[in-house]
Amino acid sequence: MDKEKIPLLTIGIPTYNGAEHIMEALDSVINQVDEIDDEIEVVISDNASTDETPEIVKQYMQKYNFIKYFRNEKNIGFDGNVDLLFERAKGEYVWVLSDDDTLREGALKNVLIKLKQYRDISVILVNYAECDINMQEYPKRSRPDIYEDAYCKNGDTFFQKSKFLFGLVSSLIIKREKWNKRAKKYIGSGFVHVGAIAEILANDSAFIVAEKLVNLRTPITGKERWQVAGYRAILNPGLELVKIFKRMKILGYNEKTCKYLMDNIFRANLRLILVLHLMEVGDKVEIAKAMIHCYGRYPSFWFIHLPFLFIPISVFRLLRKIRKAFKKKLRSS
């Protein structure tokens, strides 16, 4: 790639101890760059990995001159690493790809066509396939799908058409110069990318690609995932998103958009409470205070969500036993 030429697209990979899967991520990019390597670069931002990630990446760098590697002196968290990735990138746009996700065949060419066709856009959202640990696509996805491409002249259109798929960082391509200081205030939320696009699209346009261009790896599911993550890791993301959605009113988004986002995340709160029960979390008062701050304006929160949260664990265990017994009886009859 010509050193003087600014690439159109940076594939930015934030990583921390990504040795297990980062080769798959890199291969999925490299397999698509034969004819377009002068239009892209790959930038890896390593958050002070303690595994073999550096050695693996260096092997790739010896073969491909469009791969650049940076290593942080210490772990600065996911948000900080993504923000630093944008500082290190040179491309006009940055596609942030998680170190355990992969690009699907034809993804790069598809995105480059869109970037050249719609020169005014600041954000592209691409659809993705939900896969297991072996990258086998699940036959049925867990959330609503996108079926048609959509040019979105503003953020209101984008957030109402994107079906909440904007939460996956690997599905976002963002204009680098638009990121800048807009993202800084969201560092520490776990959703710096969502905060950034909310800020950017308050004034700019976007494009949604319905075709699935990314494979999302979901290695741990169910109760095992909850036990590994801890209850705060389950609780906090939703609450942080609520803060971002509430701020969108200040940014000038219309009431319909803000209501759509808040209503969707509120509907997921009952499932969150169920997860907390399964984890047998004891500190219900602290959790209740956080939820009241976010959802107190919903009448059903007070009459349904809050009582459900404070069901004694003993009662909940009994209900689970009754449910299992009922299912067993149905199978035997």
Q: What is the pLDDT of residue 38?
A: 74
Q: What is the pLDDT of residue 261?
A: 95
pLDDT confidence tier of residue 228, bands split at 50, 70 and 90: very low
Q: Report d(CA 159, CA 152) in Å as an integer.
A: 9
pTM: 0.89
Residues present in the chain in total: 333
Q: Report d(CA 293, CA 242) in Å as an integer.
A: 10
Q: Report d(CA 197, CA 123) in Å as an integer.
A: 7
Q: What is the pLDDT of residue 226?
A: 44
Provide the strand spans (E) within 29-166.
Answer: 40-46, 67-71, 93-96, 102-103, 121-131, 150-152
**In this model, does residue 144 exceed pLDDT 50?**
yes
Q: Report d(CA 76, CA 52) in Å as an integer.
A: 19
The mean pLDDT of the chain is 90
Q: What is the pLDDT of residue 192?
A: 96
The 10s digit of each residue's pLDDT in 295-306 is: 999 999 999 999
Residue spans of the domains in the chain: they are: 9-217, 222-332
The 10s digit of each residue's pLDDT in 246-281 is: 999 999 999 999 999 999 999 989 888 887 877 777
Please give the CATH number for the structural domain made up of 9-217.
Answer: 3.90.550.10
Tell me 136's DSSP state.
P
The 10s digit of each residue's pLDDT in 155-212 is: 999 999 999 999 999 999 999 999 987 899 999 999 999 999 999 999 999 999 999 9
3-class DSSP state of 225: helix
The 10s digit of each residue's pLDDT in 58-116 is: 999 999 999 999 999 999 999 999 999 999 999 999 999 999 999 999 999 999 999 99
Mind giving me the DSSP string for 180-197? GGGGGGGTTSS-HHHHHH
Q: What does the block give as tokens for 111?
A: 């995105």
Q: What is the pLDDT of residue 2?
A: 46
Crossing angle (nearest 10°) for helices 77-88 and 192-200: 50
Q: How many CB atoms lie within 10 A of CB 178?
A: 19
Among 56, 59, 58, 88, residue whose Cα is nearest residue 72: 88
